[in-house]
Amino acid sequence: MNATTPQHLIQPAAYEITAHPEHPRLLKLTLNTEALNAFLADVRDIDVQNLEYVPFMRFHLARRLKAHMGADFGETLVNIIKDRKHGGFVLGLEGVSQDSDDYVKFGTAIGHILGPANHDSMSNKYYARFLVKHTDSSDSYLRQAYRLFTMHTDGTFVTEATDWLLMMKFDEQNAVGGESRFLHLDDWSELQRFVQDPLGARPLLYKAPGSKNVNERVERPVFFHGEFGLSISFIDQFVQPANDAEAEYLQNLSESMENSPGTRTVSLPAGDLVVLNNYFYVHGRAPFERNEQLHRELMRQRGTFAQ
């Protein structure tokens, strides 16, 4: 809003920001339920297929959400994700809907306030919905419930940039455990040990398993400097060490992140989402307790910041 905006068009903010109760850096936004309902009613006639086929409609949703949330909502989200002190937030639909199309629309609006989503090769869409269940025959830890899903960044094995990632919980039943785990690089107690090792700057080869539908061979170092300062790119499953020294370095690095006191467990109720800066956060998932009725559905979106 600038000085010439008529007074009646300036809306009060329809959200509050507080510290997240489980993570010292994340912020929690609580959105006004009337504004959320008004947003969902506003975009009711836009179907999800339209969003999948027409990229500019995803930005239309972002624009509508900003209009309903008022005062600097979009700018606030971008500033949080780019702010090294925070770099992440949690927010949700506050129970106003349990409809999965509404979840896709809301998540899309939040993501596209930051910028365009990348194509997700696993789903062949700009987002992916996936289940974690009792049984799984997949080829990575993503859908395996009873394994620790080790700390990692996203987008390691593709050439395009992955600036931010969004994860939204759609549904969860009979789930004990399985919490998200987040580590901000500056909270990693042994960070300097791995940054100062010459292997931290050496380009390493990444290759994805078949389910990812990505055949690229990407080389990137674990640590690099970028727009947000010291940054990391790492995932244990897809990095291909060329020798024993690289393998040992990567194994020690992974174990150190898992065991760092800075790695915090965060619970995410259905209808809530988390967004992280992918350059200075690593994320993972705790194992679930065994339950044959375990059912959890998540949506992910990953993208770049708007230019």
Largest alpha-carbon pair distance within the chain?
66
Interacting positions 211-270 with Fe ion (CB under 5 A): none
Beta carbon nearer to Fe ion, 120 or 154: 154
Interacting positions 43-72 with Fe ion (CB under 5 A): none
Report the relative pairing of strands 272-277 and 88-92 from DSSP bridges.
Answer: antiparallel
Beta carbon nearer to Fe ion, 154 or 236: 154
Which residue from 120, 154, 163, 179 is in contact with Fe ion, where contact means CB under 5 A? 154
In the bound state, the residue with its beta carbon closest to Fe ion is 154
Beta carbon nearer to Fe ion, 154 or 297: 154
Interface region with Fe ion, contact rule CB under 5 A, candidates 17-25, 47-55, 120-128, 153-161: 153-161
Interface region with Fe ion, contact rule CB under 5 A, candidates 3-11, 120-128, 152-160, 288-296: 152-160
Between CA 244 and CA 252 the distance in angstroms is 12
Q: Whole-number minimum distance, CB 97 to Fe ion, in Å?
A: 26
Q: Whole-number minimum distance, CB 152 to Fe ion, in Å?
A: 6
Contacts with Fe ion by CB under 5 A: the residue count is 1
Interface region with Fe ion, contact rule CB under 5 A, candidates 7-15, 41-49, 110-118, 154-162: 154-162
Query: Cα-atom radius of gyration of the chain, to the nearest Å?
Result: 20
Beta carbon nearer to Fe ion, 115 or 284: 284
Between CA 72 and CA 78 the distance in angstroms is 10
Strand-pairing partners, residue 164, are 277, 303
Beta carbon nearer to Fe ion, 154 or 163: 154
The amino acid present at 158, given as its one-letter code, is V
**142 vs 42, 123, 138, 179, 233, CA distance in Å?**
34, 14, 8, 13, 17
Q: Whole-number minimum distance, CB 29 to Fe ion, in Å?
A: 22
Beta carbon nearer to Fe ion, 15 or 288: 288
Handedness of CA 181, 185, 186, 188 (dihedral sign): positive
Interface region with Fe ion, contact rule CB under 5 A, candidates 44-52, 64-72, 149-157, 206-214: 149-157
Interacting positions 16-35 with Fe ion (CB under 5 A): none
Beta carbon nearer to Fe ion, 31 or 214: 214
Q: Whole-number minimum distance, CB 281 to Fe ion, in Å?
A: 10
> Footprint of Fe ion on this chain (CB under 5 A)?
154
